[in-house]
């Protein structure tokens, strides 16, 4: 459920209004920190539609309570509300004050007596106006700090908060032109803030902001200097200032950028300040992200190293497979040739898993495409000239990389066994299906994803017998006529996949082999 659902239920408001509120709430920690106060987003419980109001605008009904849709606390000062206000109803004198601000569409101040039911402090009420109609009201409850003289930084912060609230009242902030950035290290107020005039000259720079630029190579102060010209003199890794960075440093566009120096890196975010359509200046947030980028580089290097290792293992296994193929051609014994061919198939199966892992950056592997190739490879290697059709139903999803090799080997052996012994040189079909069961939780609290893998052939069949093995029984010596492949399957299913294996007659003849496997489940849920 989105916090804008009450607004969406009123026909006079559209999806653009809801999206604008999402932009505001996504960014209003900035407002709370600059204004040293709590923010409440309020919306009336009962709304008189525009068609029923002489002004032609939707307004709160007389006596309507207001619902708190969102709440933000400042990180730069004490909170006014000890409890979370989301979902609370505002009534009485406070609701009447909110209704008056909604109708007047102008910023108002409410005294402690008008807001005493919520907090005994003065409150600033800011109607959020879009397309000449109010869509919500923001209340700002701040500690006045009358027992001391405010610092210049505090005065600039409060002035900047006032500018942003005025722009929010006019519907010009937040701006839909804001570019999203998925990289870590978005700057916050406490990380460093500069205030620029309309010409891009620094009027104020917080101590943290100055420290950030000093680490980038600044000599001297920023006060009174053009920030774009200062940046052009810094020892950056890329010479000059590119076309995306210049508008941020000048404060003309609401974008984010990054300055990469020889010894440090900093993220920047510009917020243009406007009075109507005229740009009056800008706020520039900055943050030293040198350590963050160093860690990012280490992670990238680690991921690249792991992928390279998987790639080299795959190449080595392919070399081993090729050597086995050459050796099998020199064997005079049919039994020896078959043994080498089986070994070659198993090595190729493991190599294909490492090939998939060499393209992944996570600890899981997308197993579906790998398994389609695996089934076809096993059939082609095991078939002696007959035409065998393969079918794959269901989806494995992403499996833990440490389990991928075991699953690939088990499926490889059972599919090859179905072709060699189930079909016995006749044409037919081998089908693999995947079904996800209910997750299981062990006594220790570990969660496991349960997957049932069924491999069916339409061959000669094994009679009416049903054989199921799991746990300790799977480690028995091979029975008469049972080869190395089935011993590998039983051992891997019991030890690596923590499951069981069952051989049973197929519904339409042939044999059906069902493997129940359990995979460690990450805390975030199914992959």
Q: How confident is the model at residue 248 (pLDDT cuts 50, 70, 90)?
A: very high
Distances (CA, A) of 305 to 186, 201, 370: 28, 46, 22
Query: What is the reported pLDDT for 497?
Result: 86
Question: 401-417 vs 334-357: helix axis angle to the nearest 10?
Answer: 150
What integer pLDDT is reported at residue 526 of this predicted model? 40
Q: What is the mean pLDDT of residues 119-134?
A: 89
Using DSSP's 3-state secondary structure scheme, residue 179 falls into coil
* Residues 305-332 pLDDT 10s: 666 776 777 777 778 877 777 787 778 7
**Could you read off the pLDDT of 465-502 as tens digits, one per residue?**
788 776 655 556 666 666 777 888 888 888 888 888 98
Distance (Å, whole) CA 514 – CA 502:
5
Q: How far apart are CA 180 and CA 354, in angstroms?
A: 35
* CATH code of the region 5-170: 3.30.450.280
Q: How much is the pLDDT for 527?
A: 40
Q: What percent of the chain has pLDDT over 90?
A: 43
Residue in 503, 315, 489 with CA at minimum distance from that of residue 408 = 489
Residue 525: predicted pLDDT: 41
Q: Which of 136-140, 158-162, 289-293 has the lowest mean pLDDT?
A: 289-293
Band of residue 197 on the pLDDT scale cut at 50, 70, 90? very high
Nearest C-alpha neighbor of 191 from the set 257, 76, 285: 285
Going 211 to 212 to 214 to 215, the CA torsion angle's sign is: positive
* Burial of 70: CB neighbours in 10 Å, binned 0-12, 13-18, 19+: buried
Confidence of residue 235 (pLDDT cuts 50, 70, 90): confident
pLDDT higher than 50, residue 524 = no
CA–CA gap between residue 286 and residue 258 (Å, rounded): 9
Higher pLDDT, 440 or 3: 3
Give the helix/strand (H/E) hosting 257.
strand 256-260
pLDDT in tens, 27-45: 999 999 999 999 999 999 9
Backbone dihedral angles phi then psi of residue 268, each to the nearest 5 degrees:
-130, 150
Looking at residues 241-255, what average pLDDT do you find?
A: 87
Q: What CATH number should be reported for the domain whose range is 382-527?
A: 3.30.565.10
Q: Is 50 exceeded by the pLDDT of residue 517?
A: yes
Beta-carbon contacts of residue 269 (< 8 Å; ≥ 6 apart): 186, 187, 248, 255, 256, 257, 284, 285, 286
pLDDT of residue 184: 67
Strand partners, 25: none
* Cα–Cα distance measured from residue 432 to residue 416, given in angstroms and rounded to the nearest whole number: 12
Confidence of residue 104 (pLDDT cuts 50, 70, 90): very high
Edge-to-edge strands of the sheet including 256-260?
A: 202-205, 193-197, 278-288, 265-275, 256-260
Quote the CA–CA distance of 164 and 32 in Å, as a whole number: 11
Token pair 């090939």 is found at 355
Beta carbons within 8 Å of 109's beta carbon, 6+ residues apart: 122, 123, 124, 125
- CA 389, 519, 396, 514 dihedral sign is positive
- pLDDT tens-digit series, residues 374-424: 788 778 777 767 788 888 899 988 888 778 888 888 888 888 888 888 888
Cα Rg, the chain, nearest whole Å = 34
What is residue 228's predicted lDDT score, i.e. its pLDDT? 93
Three-state SS letters, 59-78: EECCCCCEEEEEEECCCCCC
Any idea what DSSP says for residue 95?
H
Which helix (H) or strand (E) segment is 28 a member of?
none
Higher pLDDT, 309 or 454: 454
If one counts every other C-beta atom within 10 angstroms of the C-beta of residue 250, the result is 21
Mean pLDDT across the chain = 85
How far, CA to CA in Å, does 170 sit from each of 47, 107, 166, 488? 21, 10, 6, 72
Class of domain 189-288: alpha beta
Q: Under a CB-based contact definition with an 8 Å cutoff, are residues 505 and 462 in contact? A: yes
φ, ψ for residue 508, nearest 5 deg: -115, 35
The pLDDT score that the predictor gives to residue 304 is 64
> Rounded mean pLDDT of 68-75?
96
Q: Are 170 and 278 in contact (CB under 8 A)?
A: no
Rounded mean pLDDT of 80-107?
Answer: 93
pLDDT for 327-380, tens place per residue? 877 787 877 877 787 777 777 777 777 776 666 656 677 788 778 877 887 787
* 3-state DSSP percent of the chain in helix, strand and coil, to 5: 40, 25, 35
């Amino acid at each position: 459920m989105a916090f804008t659902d009450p607004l969406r239920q009123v026909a006079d408001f559209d999806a653009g209004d809801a999206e604008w509120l999402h932009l505001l709430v996504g960014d209003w920690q900035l407002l709370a920190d600059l204004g040293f106060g709590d923010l409440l987003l309020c919306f009336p419980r009962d709304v008189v539609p525009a068609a029923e109001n002489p002004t032609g605008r939707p307004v709160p009904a007389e006596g309507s309570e207001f619902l708190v849709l969102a709440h933000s606390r400042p990180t730069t000062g004490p909170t006014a509300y000890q409890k979370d206000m989301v979902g609370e109803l505002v009534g009485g004198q406070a609701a009447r004050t909110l209704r008056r601000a909604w109708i007047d569409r102008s910023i108002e101040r409410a005294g402690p007596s008008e807001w005493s039911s919520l907090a005994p402090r003065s409150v600033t009420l800011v109607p959020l106006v879009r397309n000449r109609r109010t869509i919500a009201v923001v209340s700002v409850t701040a500690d006045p700090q009358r027992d001391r003289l405010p610092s210049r930084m505090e005065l600039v912060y409060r002035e900047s908060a006032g500018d942003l609230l005025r722009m929010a009242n006019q519907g010009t902030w937040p701006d839909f032109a804001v570019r999203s950035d998925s990289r870590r290290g978005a700057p916050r107020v406490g990380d460093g803030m500069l205030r620029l005039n309309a010409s891009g000259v620094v009027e104020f720079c917080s101590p943290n902001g100055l420290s950030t630029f000093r680490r980038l190579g600044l000599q001297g102060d920023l006060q009174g200097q053009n920030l774009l010209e200062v940046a052009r003199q810094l020892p950056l890794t890329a010479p000059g200032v590119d076309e995306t960075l210049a508008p941020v440093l000048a404060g003309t566009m609401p974008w984010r950028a990054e300055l990469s120096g020889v010894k440090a890196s900093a993220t920047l975010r510009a917020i243009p300040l406007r009075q109507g359509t005229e740009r009056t200046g800008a706020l520039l947030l900055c943050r030293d992200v040198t350590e963050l980028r160093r860690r990012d580089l280490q992670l990238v290097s680690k991921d690249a190293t792991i992928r390279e290792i998987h790639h080299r293992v795959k190449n080595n296994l392919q070399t081993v497979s090729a050597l086995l193929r050459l050796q099998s051609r020199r064997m005079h014994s049919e039994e020896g040739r078959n043994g080498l061919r089986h070994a070659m198939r198993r090595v190729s199966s493991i190599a294909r898993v490492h090939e998939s892992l060499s393209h992944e950056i996570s600890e899981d592997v997308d197993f579906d495409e790998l398994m389609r190739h695996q089934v076809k490879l096993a059939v082609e290697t095991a078939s002696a000239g007959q035409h065998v059709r393969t079918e794959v139903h269901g989806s494995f999803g992403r499996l833990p990389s440490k389990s991928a090799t075991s699953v690939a080997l088990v499926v490889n052996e059972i599919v090859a066994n179905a072709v060699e012994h189930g079909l016995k040189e006749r044409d037919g079909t081998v089908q693999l299906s995947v079904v996800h069961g209910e997750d299981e939780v062990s006594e220790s609290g570990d969660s496991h994803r349960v997957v049932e893998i069924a491999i069916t052939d339409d061959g000669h069949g094994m009679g009416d017998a049903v054989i199921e093995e799991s746990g300790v029984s799977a480690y028995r010596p091979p029975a008469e006529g049972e080869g190395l492949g089935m011993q590998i399957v039983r051992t891997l299913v019991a030890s690596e996949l923590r499951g069981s294996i069952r051989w049973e007659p197929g519904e339409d003849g042939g044999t059906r082999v069902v493997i129940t496997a359990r995979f460690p489940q990450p805390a975030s849920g199914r992959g």
